[in-house]
A = this chain, B = another copy of it.
């Protein structure tokens, strides 16, 4: 069998983003961790890490990490029946990549019951879908929640439903900039809020109103910051309605054009051979999602 002490050293260096932290985490000296990585590289005959800040796995290193992740998931299953097998006695964390808006809104309430009952620990990564799926492919995460329906090899994608986004702004912003009526050309000339280069929602919204050019915008890569920015009257933007129920109820935010919502479908990607715990979590999510997401219209 493989020497898992060496593979665990590799995984820990990558997860912790450095040799010093990996050493702390493993209860080893830094030179012992270096030794293990070097020994691993001698055995496989190639570098497994690009030494940098932080260290990055090579292509071969990523294949090894993929394997470690799969083994850990399988160990997680076994451990529920035979807890003493795990040397350090700590439950493994399940690594999940998900989009910022799901994390800021429905995902944790939806999985809460399951995690409390099973004692599962989570390691969450906030990633847009391209990076989330890349991490799946590299075996760095056990599951990924994103808008892409296409699973990576060895995984499957489950349609959960859609998040409903509405174009919102503060009453002061509307009074200041849009008092004489709202149309696409006017909207393009007042500041919007955009999450980041991958956020095309505002563009889609303007396109739905017949406008295709560029538009003024702030950039704010934080779900919570996005809402704060809209509340502060700095711009308009598409916001999940579930995130701002209170603000819509008390009038801190208002919808620009009622009835023009955009639904973003969400898919849960998980490994086919990810083990029993991941299966159970997937089944739990399938049941829970309908309480939090809107049903997707089949095309």
Contact = CB atoms under 8 A, between A and B. Distances in A.
Interface string A108-119: 110110011000
Contacts of A100: 222
Given A16-B197, A21-B197, A228-B108, A122 B223 contact: no
B116 A221 contact: no
A103 to B, nearest CB: 4
Question: Is chain A's interface secondary structure helix, strand, loop, or mixed overall?
Answer: mixed
Interface string A88-122: 00110100000010011101110110011000011
A224 B104 contact: yes
A233 B104 CA distance: 15
A209 interface: no
Contacts of A176: 116
How many copies are assembled?
2
A63 interface: no
A108 B221 contact: no
A218 B103 contact: no
A223 B224 CA distance: 8
A93 B16 CA distance: 34
A112 B91 CA distance: 44
A234 interface: yes
17 contacts: A16-B197, A21-B197, A103-B220, A107-B225, A107-B228, A108-B228, A108-B231, A111-B232, A115-B232, A116-B232, A121-B216, A122-B218, A122-B219, A124-B218, A126-B222, A222-B222, A222-B224
Interface of A: 16-17, 21, 90-91, 93, 100, 103-105, 107-109, 111-112, 115-116, 121-126, 176, 191, 197, 216-225, 228-229, 231-234
Given A116-B232, A222-B223, 17 more contacts: A93-B219, A104-B224, A104-B228, A107-B228, A108-B225, A108-B229, A109-B232, A111-B232, A112-B233, A115-B232, A116-B176, A121-B191, A122-B234, A124-B219, A126-B225, A222-B222, A224-B224
